Amino acid sequence: MRSSAVPKRFFWRLYISCAVLAVVCIALAGSVTYGIVTKHHLARLEQELHENAVLISRLVENDLGKNNDRVQQIVQSLGDDFRPRATVILPDGTVAGETDEDPLRMENHADRPEIARALKGGRGKEERVSPTLGVRMLYVAVRVGPAGSPKGVVRCALPVTEVEAQMAFFSTVIIACSGLGVGLALLISFFISLKITSPIAHMTEVAMDIASGRLDRRADVTSKDELGNLAGALNAMRARLVEQITTIERDRGQLETVLSTMAEGVAAIDAREHIVFINDAAAGALETTPAEATGKPLWEVSRNPALERFLQEAKKSGGTKTFQWSLRGGEARYYELTIVEVTGTALSQDAGEAERGPTHILVLHDITTLRKLERMRRDFIANISHELKSPLTAIRGFIETLQAGVQDPAKADEFLKIIDRHARRLDDLVSDLLELSAIESPDFTLDKGSVSLKEIAESALELLAREISAKRLQVEVCCTGAVPAVRADRIRLEQVFINLLDNAVKYTSPGGEVKVTIGREDGMVKVEVCDTGIGIPGKDIPHVFERFYRVDKARSREMGGTGLGLAIVKHIIQAHGGDISVESRVGRGTTFTFHLPINE
């Protein structure tokens, strides 16, 4: 509505201005033309009278003042074809000859202005109403004789009405032409105004559309004048605006993508402590979604007094503040909360908009894994200390006993065997620790080659043949279908099979079964190590691959386990690009399953 109103007002202003200018110019031209033509006709009339007066003066010059009757005869003899009224006047004003009247009955003409001017300057002119005829006349007088001794004056006169009649007709023509010119000027002004304002109206509409967000609009003005330049500037501005908006939207999209995919939670709140932005990680920490949390007060979303307290402390002290706080929903999660005060972000001068601008940024860094690692480190130190302390205490005790002196050689031999057993246990523990440390090292590499898993499994069973025979176990290695070779480190995979089969043999009752099944699944080689042993309780299954974790600690130590075997197995499988899992039922047995990439 507004875009069309402005060009219409401009159109009428321009049109009226052009029309008024055209009318004034035409009227002025008509008036000037009328004046020039009138002046021209009067000049021609004056010239005609002057020529006639000169002619008569030559005819009467010899008789004037000597034979006035002869002068009258000459004047009267001019005939009916002589248009002007001619009068011959003596220097004293006496009329000596007259074409239309009797000179003797005419009054003295010495006071006539044209007569006085002619006597003085040789020529005189006057326009006035004739007292004799009662019409407006143009008088032209010419002196006869030299200035020092003039013989008289010849005056010719014609009515001005003839010129006025001609000018009346001419004025009618001028008025008609002026009216036609005014009409034509109004029409031309209309089209000129329309031609000028139409591009302006179009560009105004385009500008309003661009302002409302329709950035596909362009100004279609191709003229080479200033309007064309303005249209080009408008199109260039639109292109630049599109480019800037595209850049802003791209940057905003990238920023939103970065913030949304960050592991750290990020939230922004305004002066009213309402959430103006929150990413997925922060929303997940507060057990909500970004859509539900945005626009709501922080306390309503979090319902955590500690978070509100931290925020108030940060507001009071200003700057950047870091706090640690935990959320306990099911599993405890720990967060490091950083609150950053934001200054100078409210770009709008409007108080309401400034109030809704972000004033504080909350960054939630999930340190649950770090806490778990710290706990694992503490547990590892405690476990290894315990694992080392028990055999060292036993060794030290028996050494002190032997040092004190043992009379019975059999007892001394028994003590030495116990010391040897604990020393071997320490050696196994240190070896496993070194092995695990090497596997977890960034410099750890695998000596890969093409290997047969069936051969490795059978080789591991051969190493455990004595234990298998002692417990009368039934063992089997079978392949389901054609099993391809894998590209792997043979020695490391032997460690995997030995650890898994050793556990299966240890925890399977005499007469039980141990079975190794090798096949293909989902483009990988699948290996299952099954036993019919005592099984693993469900609560312990998630922890069996942790260091020093034992389901039955007393029995494990009795059997000589270090608690690191399954941790080593897991790291070796993962180093090969595979995965391992366990399923078990107490009293029914356990199945360890791992997958390895196929060497094709």
What CATH code is carried by the domain that includes residue 412?
Answer: 1.10.287.130
Could you tell me the two tokens for 209? 């559309």
C-alpha distance from residue 280 to each of 9, 273, 288, 352, 545 (Å):
54, 19, 9, 28, 31
Quick one: 311 and 381 in the same domain?
Answer: no
What is residue 264's DSSP assignment?
Answer: S
Give the pLDDT of residue 583. Answer: 93
**Distance (Å, whole) CA 337 – CA 302:** 13
Number of domains within the chain: 4
Comparing 81 with 32, the larger pLDDT belongs to 32
- Does some domain include residue 218? no
Comparing 318 with 230, the larger pLDDT belongs to 230
Quick one: 460 and 586 in the same domain?
Answer: yes
Q: How many residues are present in the chain?
A: 600
**Sequence-separated (6 or more) residues with CB below 8 Å from residue 581:** 592, 593, 594
Q: Kindly report the number of other CB atoms within 10 A of residue 204's CB atom.
A: 20
H-assigned helices in 280-334: 280-285, 290-293, 298-302, 305-317
- pLDDT, the chain, mean: 81
If we measure between CA atoms, which residue out of 497, 387, 489 comes closest to residue 431? 387
Domain boundary among 315, 335, 365: 365
**Sequence-separated (6 or more) residues with CB below 8 Å from residue 40:** none
Give the pLDDT of residue 589. Answer: 92
Exposed, middle or buried: residue 296 (CB in 10 Å: 0-12, 13-18, 19+)? middle
**Sequence-separated (6 or more) residues with CB below 8 Å from residue 141:** 53, 89, 112, 114, 115, 117, 118, 123, 124, 125, 153, 154, 155, 156
Helix (H, G, I), strand (E, B) or coil at 361: strand
**Distance (Å, whole) CA 531 – CA 474:** 10
Report whether pLDDT(345) > 80: no
Exposed, middle or buried: residue 250 (CB in 10 Å: 0-12, 13-18, 19+)? exposed
Q: What does the pLDDT look like over 263-310, one tens digit per residue?
A: 788 888 888 889 888 888 888 888 888 888 888 888 888 777 877 888
pTM of the model: 0.44
Domain boundary among 309, 334, 365: 365
Q: What does the pLDDT look like over 454-471, one tens digit per residue?
A: 999 999 899 889 999 999
Comparing 529 with 439, the larger pLDDT belongs to 529
Quick one: 547 and 523 in the same domain?
Answer: yes
Structural domain including 151 reads: 2-166
What CATH code is carried by the domain that includes residue 580?
Answer: 3.30.565.10
Whose tokens are 């009515």? That residue is 159
Give the pLDDT of residue 354. Answer: 46
Cα-Cα-Cα-Cα dihedral of 278, 280, 283, 287, to 10°?
170
Report whether pLDDT(557) > 70: no
Quick one: 400 and 541 in the same domain?
Answer: no
**Distance (Å, whole) CA 409 – CA 91:** 193
Report whether pLDDT(559) > 60: no
- Does some domain include residue 386? yes
- Does some domain include residue 51? yes
Report whether pLDDT(343) > 50: yes
Quick one: 436 and 578 in the same domain?
Answer: no
Give the pLDDT of residue 514. Answer: 93
Report whether pLDDT(327) > 80: no
Give the pLDDT of residue 532. Answer: 92
Q: Which long-range contacts (CB under 8 A, 24 or more apart) does 41-46 make?
A: 41/163, 41/166, 41/167, 42/138, 42/160, 42/163, 45/138, 45/158, 45/160, 45/162, 45/163, 46/125, 46/138, 46/140
How sure is the predictor about 553, in pLDDT bands with cuts at 50, 70 and 90? low
Give the pLDDT of residue 21. Answer: 83
Could you tell me the two tokens for 22? 């055209």
Average pLDDT over residues 60-64: 86
If we measure between CA atoms, which residue out of 436, 270, 451 comes closest to residue 360? 270
Give the pLDDT of residue 348. Answer: 36
- Does some domain include residue 574? yes
Bridge partners, 340 (sequence order): 320, 361
- Does some domain include residue 181? no
Quick one: 357 and 377 in the same domain?
Answer: no
How sure is the predictor about 349, in pLDDT bands with cuts at 50, 70 and 90? very low
- Does some domain include residue 117? yes
Give the pLDDT of residue 515. Answer: 94
**What percentage of the chain has pLDDT greater than the value 70?**
88
Average pLDDT over residues 9-18: 76
Quick one: 397 and 474 in the same domain?
Answer: no
Quick one: 413 and 511 in the same domain?
Answer: no
Could you tell me the two tokens for 105? 């009955």
Quick one: 356 and 390 in the same domain?
Answer: no
Q: What does the pLDDT look like over 116-149, one tens digit per residue?
A: 898 888 899 888 887 767 788 889 999 998 888 8
Could you tell me the two tokens for 460? 């591991």
**Sequence-separated (6 or more) residues with CB below 8 Å from residue 84:** 48, 49, 52, 99, 156, 157, 158
Give the pLDDT of residue 344. Answer: 53
**Sequence-separated (6 or more) residues with CB below 8 Å from residue 262:** 279, 281
Bridge partners, 87 (sequence order): 98, 155
Report whether pLDDT(257) > 70: yes
Indicate left, alpha or beta for 283 from its phi (over 0: left) and psi (-120 to 50: alpha): alpha
Q: What does the pLDDT look like over 417-434, one tens digit per residue?
A: 878 877 777 776 677 677
Domain boundary among 440, 462, 479: 440
Quick one: 306 and 272 in the same domain?
Answer: yes
- Does some domain include residue 177? no
- Does some domain include residue 196? no
Q: Kindly report the number of other CB atoms within 10 A of residue 458's CB atom.
A: 14
Could you tell me the two tokens for 404? 């004190």
Quick one: 435 and 513 in the same domain?
Answer: no
Q: Kindly report the number of other CB atoms within 10 A of residue 71's CB atom.
A: 27
**What percentage of the chain has pLDDT greater than the value 90?**
11
Distance of CA 42 to the CA centre of its chain: 78
Quick one: 108 and 129 in the same domain?
Answer: yes
Comparing 13 with 124, the larger pLDDT belongs to 124
What CATH code is carried by the domain that includes residue 335?
Answer: 3.30.450.20
**Distance (Å, whole) CA 272 – CA 269:** 8
Give the pLDDT of residue 154. Answer: 92
Give the pLDDT of residue 319. Answer: 66
Give the pLDDT of residue 351. Answer: 41
